[in-house]
């Protein structure tokens, strides 16, 4: 074999190694980005769990004062149940478009139900002045802010992942290894983008 043949073999080996290294780097980059958005969702999950855990105490505190407003309290409890189910589905498959849409919708319904509850408490001065209700409201407001912050972190991570899987050569690697697109967790309505107004 002549010098030209050896040079050709070396060039082929170098090209194959470069392609292999590029493929490994792209694959690992996608895995890192996917892990990042899944971790970011775990932060949302923690805050949503905290939010959902505060609601039974809030309802119990309000129940003594809102005897004639049973329908509102039941709506909050039902919305909490729906939100917890949607959270569980999203926890199993963070980034899945169906699960994220279900979670968005359920959290939106819960926010609206809480908004109605807090609007109703304005008519009950004794409830507004209740120390336990004030503390729970403050904790809920703080949690709502944490949820919004965690949601932003998650959406940033999803955007980074989706961009990585859509640009060349990531799009080839994503297609070969089944890296599906991840869905953002964006509030559905302008009202849902804000925490429930709580004023005591």
CATH number at residue 83: 1.20.1440.20
How big, in percent rounded to 5, are the helix, strand and coil portions of the chain? Answer: 80, 0, 20
Residue 10 lies in a domain: no
Q: What share of the chain in percent tops pLDDT 90?
A: 70
CA-angle at 200, arms to 136 and 125, nearest 5°:
105
Question: What's the rounded Cα separation, in Å, for the pair 67 and 72?
Answer: 10
Residue 1 lies in a domain: no
Q: What is the pTM of this model?
A: 0.82
Contact 112, 78 (CB under 8 A): no
Identify the weakest region by mean pLDDT among 17-31, 85-99, 126-140: 126-140
Output DSSP code: residue 191: T
Domains contained in the chain, number: 1
Confidence of residue 190 (pLDDT cuts 50, 70, 90): very low
Question: What's the rounded Cα separation, in Å, for the pair 197 and 200?
Answer: 10
Radius of gyration of the chain (CA): 25
Q: What domain range includes position 156?
A: 31-177
Residue 78 lies in a domain: yes
Which residue, 38, 191, 41, is CA-closest to 116? 191
Contact 90, 96 (CB under 8 A): yes
Q: pLDDT digit string (tens) for 110-129?
A: 999 999 998 888 888 888 78
């Amino acid at each position: 074999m002549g010098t030209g043949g050896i040079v050709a073999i070396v060039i082929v080996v170098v090209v194959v190694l470069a392609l292999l290294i590029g493929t490994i780097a792209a694959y690992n980059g996608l895995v890192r980005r996917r892990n990042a958005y899944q971790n970011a969702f775990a932060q949302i999950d923690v805050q949503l769990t905290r939010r959902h855990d505060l609601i039974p105490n809030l309802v119990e505190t309000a129940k003594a004062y809102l005897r004639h407003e049973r329908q509102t309290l039941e709506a909050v409890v039902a919305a909490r149940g729906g939100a917890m189910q949607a959270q569980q589905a999203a926890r199993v498959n963070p980034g899945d478009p169906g699960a994220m849409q279900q979670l968005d919708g359920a959290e939106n319904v819960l926010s609206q139900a809480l908004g109605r509850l807090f609007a109703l408490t304005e008519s009950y001065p004794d409830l507004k002045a209740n120390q336990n209700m004030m503390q729970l409201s403050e904790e809920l407001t703080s949690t709502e802010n944490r949820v919004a912050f965690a949601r932003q972190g998650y959406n940033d991570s999803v955007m980074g992942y989706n961009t990585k899987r859509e640009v060349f050569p990531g799009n080839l690697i994503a297609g070969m290894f089944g890296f599906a697109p991840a869905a953002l967790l964006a509030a559905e309505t302008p009202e849902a983008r804000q925490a429930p107004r709580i004023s005591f």
